[in-house]
Structures are given as structure tokens and as C-alpha cells.
Amino acid sequence: MSENSAAEYEQFGPIAVITMNNPPVNGLGLALRSAIVALVDRALADPQVSAIVLTGGEKIFSAGADIREFGEQKQASAPTLHDVIEVVEACSKPVVAAIAGACLGGGLELAMGCHFRVARSDASLGLPEVKLGLLPGAGGTQRAPRLLGVERALNLIVSGEPERAKNFAGTALLDEVVDGSVLDAAVAFARSVVDGKLAPKRARDIKIDDPHAEPLLQFARTTVAAASRQFPAPLQCVEAVGHAVSKRFDEGLRLEREIFMGLMATPESKALRHIFAAERAVSKLPDVPADTPLRDIRRVGVIGAGTMGGGITMTFADAGIPVVLLETKQEALDRGIENIRRNYAASMKKGKLTQAQYDQRLALIEPTLDYAALADVDLVIEAVFEEMSVKREVFGRLDAIAKPGAILASNTSMLDLNEIASYTKRPQDVIGLHFFSPANVMRLLEIVRGAKTAPDVLATCMNLARRIRKTAVVAGVCEGFIGNRMIERYGAASNLLMAQGASPQQVDGALQRFGLAMGPFRMNDLAGLDIASAARKRKAASDPSSQGRVVADVLCEMGRLGQKTGSGWYRYEAGKRDAIQDPVVDTIIEQFRRENGITVRKISDQEVIERCIYALVNEGARILEDGIAARASDIDVVYLSGYGFPRHRGGPMLYADTVGLPNVVRALRRFAAEPGAEAWWEPAPLLVKLAEAGRSFN
């Protein structure tokens, strides 16, 4: 065997085997591309070699172009992926792709450039570029319709969803689908090609002759345009497949490349690529090595069977992890279990759960009134009332009963975790697990790291988050952690806009058109106005400088607590969630403005977006400064997975980068200079520093 850094070369009789070797996923970066070309040339020059097998081994073929090279010189440096595929396709000796594991994007495009393809039945084949706001740009949109037909290719390219190789058996995409060693099968296949003197089969030579192609494309254009308004890529995928039908192969290839380059430059693709990297970076903690030994989590305890505790219990049961659910009173415990039952029954009615799964999940939940039942759990999460005296009692009891090494977690959303940890003799085992409501639905989990939390506790919880299918982001201890600390500023900015002249409908409308799933007033109605109002009252009692009575407090006093009472900022008809404008609210707002001597002014939608989003960004910068979040992209992950921030904007911090940090700073300075402006409008020092240095958050 001989090696060429990124690929290996072996010979089995007349068959040369080139094995890509670029961990972790055989990304087709410059080094690997160069290696493939060099090794194909070597095989071509060797008279002993009659055919070539190109493979990534038995684990992974290739996940496509090396995303880390995007935007860098290396991506455009020869040999490009196009060059490599051209070399392979033009090769006079037959080239057989041996595919196992992931064969995605440029990886599949490379395989389609080979003359024959042998795949293991469980290999995952797909063209996921659309999920990065791109299209398959190395011939995928031209070769896939030739090998799979127009309809199948459209589905593969527009959805971006991979499929198992066995589903492609019988199509021209795969010549053979095997179980067992794909390499052995491919070498045997290559020998049969040599013995049978078969000429290379090239996808580019296949003629597309489909009378339904045009109507299919038209149908795809209409559906895709309606379904992906914010994203240009899906429609461009359809257009590129259209070129495969109507143009000569090389012309189609040229047009595909042109569209690919155009999409690369779109803000939407930049945002999606940022999210891809952000979602992978988020689990890496600089001071917690990847090989940190984990604690074993087999059984979990949850304290409190209210909405939050019930949701957390279901999250674990959904992941097949047994849960002991503790309440202090039988009635509360019964109510909690009944809610869980009702939730699962509703899922069953919708066809999301079978009877067997329903039974299985409920069987995993052990209700108890006795703390002793928590003695042998590996992790316990308390979801009790948000008051320090209550937490103190719970953690004191846990400290006495939990086995050594058990992780003691609090679901607090606002209390000081370090203080909570101090109520135990094992602060190293205490951590915050801040779930979002409804806990069994929301993807986000903030993992709050106390001053004394042990690295292995942190690593264990990060790992556990994956098991229970949550997107975990580590936060330091502060009021509101990452998400809620920022949302408070956003809420304050929207309230200010409302006081000064914008209606709740205008504020919500502007932010929803910006892409947020729900504007701040509708979000308030969903969450319930009473929680924030109670918090404001508590704060006002201890801090006289805090915000006085606001419109939301008036609404609360009228019993308008949001959707749950049928009215809040909006009115709701029974059983419906549509927010209906309510003249009563307009009157209350007008009265509030009069009482506070506020002169109403005209506010543009652009101003609504600037104030609300920059308020988020500015607090995000402070969170970074304070070391509460490890990276700006972690903050973006919080907002994308927990707060309905639009994916095509990439998160608040990336959005600020896109707008340009100097522009954000200028706007914040303008807001801060207004008479009576609150101090938090002052741009954060980090924001100013980055803007002045011409740098960005990411």
C-alpha cells in the first residue's frame, strides 16, 4: 500500500484501489482533490492496471465539498471538484465507485462521475446542498436526472434528504447494491468489467427523453415557490434540473456552475452555512476535552409534576430513559400524571404514537411522594417553584438522599445557580438544566455551568442532551442566562415602541415579516403575561430604580393574561389561536400614553426591526463580554432553536455581522442619546471594539 497524505493507493491484480482518507468525513478539500487526480494518473500510467476502484472505505464515502474551504482561495484552486470529476469521467480505464456510509453532495457528484457504482445497501446517498442554501454545483443537477429520471432527481435535489442505497436498486444510479464488504464487492465488480471488456459508462452520454419533464418542472416551480419564500435555492435547483432537460450536457453544467456561484453569495446561504458550523461548534467546550469520561445516566428523577416537570419527564420517557417523578402531595402528583397521560393520548390520536409506545412510555414513569425513591437515580432535575427558599429545601434534601456521584440539576430560569449549589456539600455535582416550555417539544436546552460544576458533569449533560434530542448550549450563571437575558431587552424595546406610537400589531407584523415565528406581543400572549408581571412586581419591591407599571401590568389586572384567558394583547376566540386586534387594548395604550405624557410619533417598520433586534444584539455582546456564552454563534443557536429566530438570517449575532457592526453601533448610539433613554441602549464595549477594528462577531 502506498500513501499520498489524503488518499491511499493499493493494487489487487489488475485493479487499483484509491481510498480517500481525509477524516472526519472525506470532505473534498484541495489536498484530497489533488490526491485523487494524482492517483488516477498513476493508475492510468501503469500498464498492469486495467480498472480503478474509488472508495472511502467501509465507513464513509464522502460528505461532499469541504465546507470549511468555502469562501477561501483553496476552494477555487485547481484541481477543483469539477476538474476531479472530469478526470475520473474521462478516464480511459473503467472507474468503479465503492460506496459505504455517507455519500453526500459533492461526494455523490464524484460517484456519479465514475463509470459504475457499487453501494452497500445501508449507505446514505443524497444531495443536501439545498440545506446550505446552494445547489449541487459539481454536475449533480445534470447527472442525477440522467441516472434517476427527472422526477426522482428533483425530489432528491429539492428536498436535500438522503436516502438509503437500497432504495436506488434497479436505477442507473447504482449498478450493484450489496450487503457486507463494499470494497470486496467493488473489486469483484471491477474484475468482471475487465473480463467482460465493458467500456466505461458515462452519465453525461445518457439522453433525457421524458415527455412528462416539462409539466413536472412546472409543477415543481409552483410548489417550491410557495413553500420556500425566504430561500432562493430550492427554486434555483428546479431551474438547474430544467437545464438538464433542455440544454446540452456541457451547457447545463456551465449554467449550473453559474447558479451555484450566485447562490454562494446570497445572505441566505451564508446564514445556513453559519448555522451548520454553529450547531457543530456549540458542543465543543474549550476547557472540557472531548475525551472527558462521562457519568452513567440510566435513571433520572424529576421533582415537581407541574407543566415544566411533566414536560421534562416526558422528554426522558420519549428517549426510553426511566424517570421517577416526585411530588409532595398526592393530588398534585395525580394531576401531573393525568396531564402526561392526556398529552400522550393526544399524540396517539394524531397518529404520532402507537398504543405500544404509549404503554411503554407510561411504564417508564414511576410516580412517587417519597424522596427515598430518588436515592438511586443518576440525575435528578428539580422543577419546583422559582423561589430560593424552596430550592434551598429541595437541594438540602437531595444532598442528604442522592447517591454519591449523582448529578443534581435545577431547571431554574432566573435564580442564582451558585447559591443553589451552596446548599449542598457537593457543588461540583450541581448544574442548571434550563428546559423551555413545553419541555417535551422545544429543542433548546441551556446547560448552566456553576462556578464549581465539575467538567465531567458538564460533559455528561452535553452527551445526555443528544440522547434526549435537545440542542444544548452552555451558559454561565447570570440572571436569565443567554436567551431570557436577551429577550428582556427585546421586550423592553418593543414596549417602548408601543408606548411611543406603534401598535402591538405593527410591532408584531414588522418582526414577523423580518422572519420571526411570532412577534413579541403574540409571544407574550402565548407565554402568559402574569409571569413577567409578577417578576416586575418582585423587582420593583426590591429595586426602586426598576421599571414602573407598564401596559402589560394593566392588562394583567384586568385578567387579560394572554391566550389562556382568551385575551391579552389580542383577543382569542374559543379553541382558536388567531390573534384578533382588540379596541380595548388600543384604549388602554392611549390612556397609558396620556398618563405618562408621551407624545405619539410615527414609527417605521425599519425602526421596529432596528430597535428590537439591536437590543438583542447589544445584550448578546454583553453576554459574550461577561463570558456567559463561549461564542457569538452559541447565542445564534439559542435564538434559532428556542426563540423562533429566522434561519435565513442566521441568528441575531450573524445578522449584526451582515448589517455591519459599525452600522449597529451608530444606531445604538442614536437611541442612547435620546432624552430619557435607558442606559442599556449604550453600545456594549465589545461591540464598539469589534466595530472599530473592522471585525465581526463570527
**Is 254 a binder of ligand 3H9 (CB under 6 A)?**
no
Nearest-approach distance from CB 107 to ligand 3H9, in angstroms: 7
Residues 60 and 28: their CA atoms lie apart, in Å, by 13
**Is 24 a binder of ligand 3H9 (CB under 6 A)?**
yes
Using the rule CB under 6 A, which residue among 15, 51, 53, 66 binds ligand 3H9?
Answer: 66
Phi and psi, residue 136, nearest 5°: -60, 115
Nearest-approach distance from CB 66 to ligand 3H9, in angstroms: 4
Helix%, strand%, coil% for the chain, nearest 5: 55, 10, 35
Closer CB to ligand 3H9, 30 or 431, in the complex:
30
**Is 104 a binder of ligand 3H9 (CB under 6 A)?**
yes
Using the rule CB under 6 A, which residue among 6, 25, 240, 381 binds ligand 3H9?
Answer: 25
Please identify the residue of the shown chain whose CB is closest to the bound ligand 3H9: 105
Closer CB to ligand 3H9, 53 or 127, in the complex:
127
Nearest-approach distance from CB 434 to ligand 3H9, in angstroms: 24
Pairing relationship of beta strands 471-475 and 2-4 according to DSSP bridges: unpaired
Of 162, 132, 112, 136, give the one whose Cα is nearest residue 241. Answer: 136
Binding mask 280-309 for ligand 3H9 (x = CB under 6 A): x-----------------------------
Nearest-approach distance from CB 698 to ligand 3H9, in angstroms: 15
The DSSP secondary structure of 266-325, one letter per residue, reads: SHHHHHHHHHHHHHHHTT-BTTB-TTPPPPP---EEEE--SHHHHHHHHHHHHTT--EEE
Contact 276, 132 (CB under 8 A): yes
Cell 447504482 belongs to residue: 174
Using the rule CB under 6 A, which residue among 17, 51, 54, 65 binds ligand 3H9?
Answer: 65
Of 587, 499, 501, give the one whose Cα is nearest residue 547. Answer: 499
Closer CB to ligand 3H9, 109 or 508, in the complex:
109
**Exposed/middle/buried for 48, CB within 10 Å: 0-12, 13-18, 19+?**
exposed
Binding piece for ligand 3H9, criterion CB under 6 A, among 85-93, 125-133, 378-386, 522-530 = 125-133
Binding piece for ligand 3H9, criterion CB under 6 A, among 58-66, 150-158, 508-516, 590-598 = 58-66
Closer CB to ligand 3H9, 278 or 408, in the complex:
278
Nearest-approach distance from CB 279 to ligand 3H9, in angstroms: 8
Nearest-approach distance from CB 104 to ligand 3H9, in angstroms: 4
Using the rule CB under 6 A, which residue among 27, 234, 432, 652 binds ligand 3H9?
Answer: 27
One-letter amino acid at 155 equals N
**Is 252 a binder of ligand 3H9 (CB under 6 A)?**
no
One-letter amino acid at 595 equals E
Q: Where are the beta strands (DSSP E) in 424-520?
A: 430-435, 444-448, 471-475
Phi and psi, residue 170, nearest 5°: 90, -10
**Is 608 a binder of ligand 3H9 (CB under 6 A)?**
no
**Is 516 a binder of ligand 3H9 (CB under 6 A)?**
no
Of 681, 626, 620, 680, give the one whose Cα is nearest residue 653. Answer: 620
Contact 668, 620 (CB under 8 A): no
One-letter amino acid at 165 equals A
**Is 637 a binder of ligand 3H9 (CB under 6 A)?**
no
Of 484, 480, 422, 483, give the one whose Cα is nearest residue 453. Answer: 422
Using the rule CB under 6 A, which residue among 81, 185, 186, 497 binds ligand 3H9?
Answer: 81
Closer CB to ligand 3H9, 138 or 297, in the complex:
138
Cell 448544574 belongs to residue: 431
Query: How many Cβ atoms from other residues are within 10 Å of residue 405's Cβ?
Result: 12
One-letter amino acid at 698 equals N
Closer CB to ligand 3H9, 66 or 610, in the complex:
66
Closer CB to ligand 3H9, 163 or 678, in the complex:
163
Residues 73 and 230: their CA atoms lie apart, in Å, by 29
Using the rule CB under 6 A, which residue among 67, 110, 420, 421 binds ligand 3H9?
Answer: 67
Closer CB to ligand 3H9, 66 or 634, in the complex:
66
Cell 431547571 belongs to residue: 411
Closer CB to ligand 3H9, 106 or 642, in the complex:
106
Residues 73 and 242: their CA atoms lie apart, in Å, by 31
Using the rule CB under 6 A, which residue among 5, 41, 59, 68 binds ligand 3H9?
Answer: 68
Closer CB to ligand 3H9, 28 or 377, in the complex:
28
User: Which of 129, 176, 256, 610 is labelled catalytic?
Assistant: 129
Closer CB to ligand 3H9, 136 or 562, in the complex:
136
Phi and psi, residue 430, nearest 5°: -95, 140
**Is 86 a binder of ligand 3H9 (CB under 6 A)?**
no
Query: How many Cβ atoms from other residues are within 10 Å of residue 626's Cβ?
Result: 13
Using the rule CB under 6 A, which residue among 105, 519, 520, 683 binds ligand 3H9?
Answer: 105
HSE-up (13 A, CA, CB side) for residue 608: 29
Residues 615 and 623: their CA atoms lie apart, in Å, by 12
Residues 41 and 500: their CA atoms lie apart, in Å, by 71
**Is 106 a binder of ligand 3H9 (CB under 6 A)?**
yes
Nearest-approach distance from CB 24 to ligand 3H9, in angstroms: 4
Cell 453526500 belongs to residue: 104
User: Which of 8, 86, 89, 109 is labelled catalytic?
Assistant: 109
Closer CB to ligand 3H9, 104 or 448, in the complex:
104
Contact 97, 120 (CB under 8 A): no
Q: Which three cell numbers stand for residue 124?
A: 446514505
H/E stretch holding 359 reads helix 355-363
Nearest-approach distance from CB 42 to ligand 3H9, in angstroms: 24
The residue count for binding ligand 3H9 (CB under 6 A) is 23
Nearest-approach distance from CB 686 to ligand 3H9, in angstroms: 25
Of 165, 85, 162, give the one whose Cα is nearest residue 118. Answer: 165
HSE-up (13 A, CA, CB side) for residue 282: 30
Sheet holding 176-178, edge to edge: 2-4, 7-12, 15-20, 51-55, 95-99, 116-120, 176-178
* DSSP three-state, residue 625: helix
Nearest-approach distance from CB 274 to ligand 3H9, in angstroms: 12
Binding mask 128-167 for ligand 3H9 (x = CB under 6 A): xx--x---xxx-x---------------------------
Q: Which three cell numbers stand for residue 221?
A: 416551480
Nearest-approach distance from CB 457 to ligand 3H9, in angstroms: 22
Site for ligand 3H9 in 209-248 (CB under 6 A): none
Residue 109 is among the residues annotated as catalytic for this protein: yes
Nearest-approach distance from CB 154 to ligand 3H9, in angstroms: 16
Nearest-approach distance from CB 67 to ligand 3H9, in angstroms: 4
> Residues in the site for ligand 3H9, rule: CB under 6 A?
24-25, 27, 63-68, 81, 102, 104-106, 109, 128-129, 132, 136-138, 140, 280
Give catalytic residues, as residue numbers. Answer: 109, 129
